[in-house]
Amino acid sequence: MALALALGATAAAAAPAPGARPASGSVPVPPAQLASIPVSILVDLGSGQVLEQRHPDTPFLPASVTKVMTAYVAFEEIGAGRLSLDRTFSERPETEREWFAKGTNMYLTTKDRPTARDLLHGIMTASANDAAVVLAEGYAGSVEGWTAKMNDAARRLGMSRSHYNTPNGWMDEGHTYVTASDLVKLADAMTTRYPDLYREFSGHKRWMWRDVAMRSHDPTVGVVPGADGIKTGYTREAGYNFLGTAERGGRRLVMVLAGSPLPKVRDEAARALLEWGFSAWDTQHLFDQGQTVAQARVQGGDARHLPLVANREVHATIPRGTDPKVTLTVRYRGPIAAPIRKGEQVGELEIRVDGLAPGRVPLYAGRDVGPAGPLDRLVNGFLGFFA
C-alpha cells in the first residue's frame, strides 16, 4: 500500500516552494579523487539517497572489512543479553599455531584471557585476525558456526548479494564477498541499532593491548570533522578498501570504496568524498527521530491504526543552493496483520527530490498492537460496515 504524504504542518520548515525545480546542471559533480577507484558509494542515511555510486551492486572481496560483520554479530549477541563484554575467552593451541603473527594481530597466545571487550577493540581498531577467530570459536564453537551467524545477520539486513566464509576476511578463494550497497545496510544497522556499542568500539585511532599500542588505519578519523569509523581492509587480491562514516549536524553519511590500487589513493578519495557529501549537498528537515510519519491500517488488532515512525532524523538531501520539489510516499503491505511489536519494521518512506533518484528510509511500528478481542472485533466489524 502506498500513501502520498503531503508536506504539511509537521514539516512546514522543509516544504519547498510549489513547482520549484533544481537549476539545470545543479547536481554536484563527485570529486576527481574517485577516478581510479572501481567501486564506490556515498549515502545519506537520513534520506536514504545515494549521492554518488559506481558499481554499487558488483561483488568484491572485502578483506578486513569482513570484520565489521563479525563486530555486528557480537553487538547482536550483546544486545540480546547472550554475550557479556566481560566474558573471558581462551585460545585453542591450534588457533595460536595458525594465526599468531598472521597479518594484523593481537599476538594472542593460549596463556591470554582476553575479554569480549578486548577482542572487539582488537577487531575494530587493530583489525586483529587472531581476535576475530578467537571470538568466533570461543562463542560459536567453530568458525563455521560463527560464519553461519554472519550470513543469517546478512540475510535479515537484506544484504542479498553478500556471503561470509571467514570471520576476519583472510583470503579464502573468493568465498567471502560483499557489495557496496550491502555494506551501507550493515553500517546503517550498526550505527542506528547499537549506537552505544558502535561509539565504544569504532572511531579510535589507537588502543592498548598489554603494553603495546595497536593503531587504526582509518584515513578519516581525526582528519575529517565528524568521522567516527568504520573499517579499512587490504589483501593483494582485494586491493585497498574502506567502509567509512561521518556525522555532522544530525546528518550521517556512509561511504564505501573498494579495489583502490594504492592506500594513498583510497585515503585521499575517502576524505574528499565525505567532505563533498557535506559541502555540496544540503538538507530539508522532514521529521524528528521517533515522530509519527503516517498512520497505517491494521487488520485483526486491538487498534485499527498504527503510527509509523522513523528511528532517525529524516530529511531530504538536495544540491546546495537549490530549492527542488520534494515528494513523500509511505509504502507498506497493508492492512498490517496484528499482532505487531513496537520497533518492528513495517514499511518505508520514499523521498523523491525532483531530478534525483529516490531515497528510502525504514519505518517502524510506533506501538504494540495486540490481537483483537471479542469487543474489538465487534467494533472493527461495525466500523468496517460503515466505512
Q: Which three cell numbers stand for residue 90?
A: 581462551
CA 177 to chain centre: 17
Question: DSSP string of 105-125?
Answer: -----TT---BHHHHHHHHHT
Q: Residue for cell digits 528510502?
A: 360
- Residue 215 phi, psi dihedral angles, 5° rounding: -115, 145
**C-alpha pair distances (Å), 359 with each of 40, 43, 140, 311, 353:** 17, 9, 37, 16, 9
Q: CA 286 to CA 298: how far, in whole Å?
A: 25
Any idea how long the chain is?
387
Q: CA 97 to CA 13: how far, in whole Å?
A: 61
Q: Residue for cell digits 581462551?
A: 90
Q: Which of 127, 162, 216, 260 is catalytic?
A: 127
Task: Specify the 3-state DSSP secondary structure of 49.
Answer: strand
Residue 67 among the catalytic residues: yes
Q: Which of 64, 181, 216, 260 is catalytic?
A: 64
Q: Which of 36, 40, 47, 67 is catalytic?
A: 67
- List all residues 6 or more positions away from 91 whose beta carbon is below 8 Å from its beta carbon: 108, 109, 110, 112, 130, 134
Catalogue the active-site residues: 64, 67, 127
